[in-house]
Chains A and B, each alone.
Chain A
Amino acid sequence: MITGKITLRLLFGAAQVILALLVIAVALDLKFNIFDFQTMFNISQDALNYYVVLLLAFGIIFLIGGLFLVYDWWESR
């Protein structure tokens, strides 16, 4: 039972880390217009800053949260 929960922690932790990295990557893509996202989605300059700040802030929070869960699994090995 405990092993199952620990494995679930690892799974959701890793999923959250991947999600956070994707969120940060999207924020950077938007900011530096690497894949021309700004034109593709017709994002105005004001909305761009709002999206970038929001995505970066949540990306970092999710990344730390996910890493904590992975660390929990690491500790319990």
Chain B
Amino acid sequence: MKKAKGIGLFDIVIAGLSGAIGFEIFVLLNYAYFHLAGPGILLALIIGGVINLLIMLSYCELGAAMPLVGGEYTYIKTAYGGYVGFIAGCFRWMASLFAAALAAVTFIVQLAILFSVISPQIQAAILDQAWVLSIFVVAALGVTEIRGSRKLGSVVVIAFILLFAGFIIGGFISGGFNAVNLFSAPLPQGVTGLFAATVYIFPMFIGTKALVASATSAEKPGKNIPRGLLLSAVIIIPLYLLMALVAIGTVAPTETAQQVSLLNFAAGQIFGQYGTVVFAIAGMVACLSALGTSLSVQSSIARGMSRDGYFPKILMAVHSRFGTNYIAAVVGSGLIMLLSVLGAVPFLVYAASFGSLIVFALVNLSLIKLRKTKPHMDRPFRTPLYPLTPILGFVFSVALLILPMVFGDGNALDALASGLGLTAIVLCSYYLRMAGRFRVQIALGGIGIGTGAIIAALAFLNILGLAQPIFPFISSYVQLAASFVLIAAGYFNLNADAAKKKKEQTSEDQLRRWTAKLRNHFVK
């Protein structure tokens, strides 16, 4: 029997580029250019690209040494065991959900840009009902995921590269390019704005790691995975740099069209209305492709974690007709819909990169740990300048995570708060699994009764006019009713273990009675 041939270097590079070339460039340049760094985003792109390259060196070593299913989740699990692996898997999963929500929101923005040329009335209606449309888009893609439709993959990537090349050439040869824009206000917010922009545009690069998913089917993975990772990480830097250069040269930082995507606006300036239409369609295709990929990725991570017993087993359920993990797809789609309704682009960007950066930091630490604990492991590629490279990779990942908060960007602070909240959920769910359900249920019962009693007491005092309301926007009578529910539910949660034992006891008694009846019957 002929052995199936694996995918070669070209396909691996295309897989890396398909992860990196996506909808991000249509949405991220905008905020970074008009609000953070002005023309300084060129420098931000170089810094971001170099940091990504540094992190990819760690991926090269681990990807070549462990060409297995699960990518970074597997590397971290091998280095640190189940607990850290579980946390990494959760963050990766959540990052996919946030990225998918961002893609859905960006799709609606691109649709609105398309209709700005065709019919401004329809554009206004789209912007007015953006959240309904984003739910519809996610639902449609969710159904596609369940039906197991094939992705366009390399065709889309090559089409995008050609389109972007056309944009760059057109930008330079058209009369609209004005080099003065590049020096008009290099860093309007100083170094702070430059670093903030670097963090903000960084998600444009992180998709290159997507190719580790192809590691299992790669030909000579020990050679081709590192080459593919490095090539795609290197190719993406000049491509994005040239695109940003043309966009900045075409659109001045003081331009009034700040609400429109920078790339679409620049395309409109260079090619006229056709440019706007073509780039809006391209943006929509990129968003749909990214949304589909994120849905598949989240579904595959959920399946892997369910297989390892961290997530409920039901997520592994396979559709009888389409052979896909339909429960994981439905759960993921539901969560993406909820997130996309928020519609807050900067928040979703920070939240998506928050999860990815934590995973990056853990991958770099895993490399250091594995070098120590498994020195004889077969490593077809060794990260140069060890341990400096993974240490720098770790430091930059953490720095990119923290810097926006240090600069006081409200969106980053919101994303951090959400990230910490999600981390708390992740850790709680791990301990829920480890400590056992009933212990957690009893603890929650105690919290419910305590909170209910405090709310009831304060609401009662407020009704009597003896205390200020803690929640002035909720009536004290409603708070009193709610506290009753909390106390009652808390009582039942507190007695969960006793109820279970009683039920077991009843079953045992019943079994004993039946056995006695049977014995009596035979004795007679």
A contact residues vs B (CB 8 Å cutoff): 2, 5, 8-9, 12-13, 15-16, 19, 26, 30-32, 37, 40-41, 43, 51, 53, 56-58, 60-62, 64-66, 68-69, 72, 76
Contact = CB atoms under 8 A, between A and B. Distances in A.
Chain B binding surface, main DSSP class: helix
A65 B441 CA distance: 7
Contacts of A32: 342, 344
A30 B496 CA distance: 34
B451 A56 contact: no
Contact of A16 (B441, B473, B485, B502): B485
A19 B485 CA distance: 9
Interface string B468-487: 00011110000000100110
B488 A60 contact: no
B312 to A, nearest CB: 11
B220 interface: no
B238 interface: no
Contacts of B417: 53
Nearest to A60: B425
A61 B444 contact: yes
Contacts of A66: 489
Q: Which 9 A-B pairs have the closest CB atoms?
A: A65-B444, A16-B489, A41-B473, A12-B489, A15-B485, A12-B488, A68-B441, A9-B492, A65-B448
Given A43-B473, A64-B444, A65-B445, A72 B486 contact: no
A19 B445 CA distance: 15
A60 B344 CA distance: 22
B79 to A, nearest CB: 31
A61 B489 contact: no
A65 B490 contact: yes
Contacts of B342: 32
B447 to A, nearest CB: 6
Contacts of B451: 58
Nearest to B473: A41
Residue of A2, A32, A53, A68 with most chain B CB atoms under a 10 A cut-off: A68
B473 A15 contact: no
Nearest to A23: B482
Given A61-B444, A65-B445, A51 B471 contact: yes
Contacts of B366: none
Contacts of B503: 2, 76
Contacts of A60: 421, 425
Given A65-B444, A65-B448, A68-B441, 11 more contacts: A2-B503, A5-B499, A16-B448, A31-B414, A65-B493, A68-B437, A68-B444, A69-B492, A72-B492, A72-B496, A76-B503
Nearest to B472: A41
A56 B451 CA distance: 14
A5 B474 CA distance: 31
Given A2-B503, A68-B437, A62 B448 contact: yes
Interface string B433-475: 0000100010011011001000000000000000000011110
Contacts of A5: 499
B445 to A, nearest CB: 7
Contacts of B119: none
A68 B490 contact: no
Nearest to B506: A2
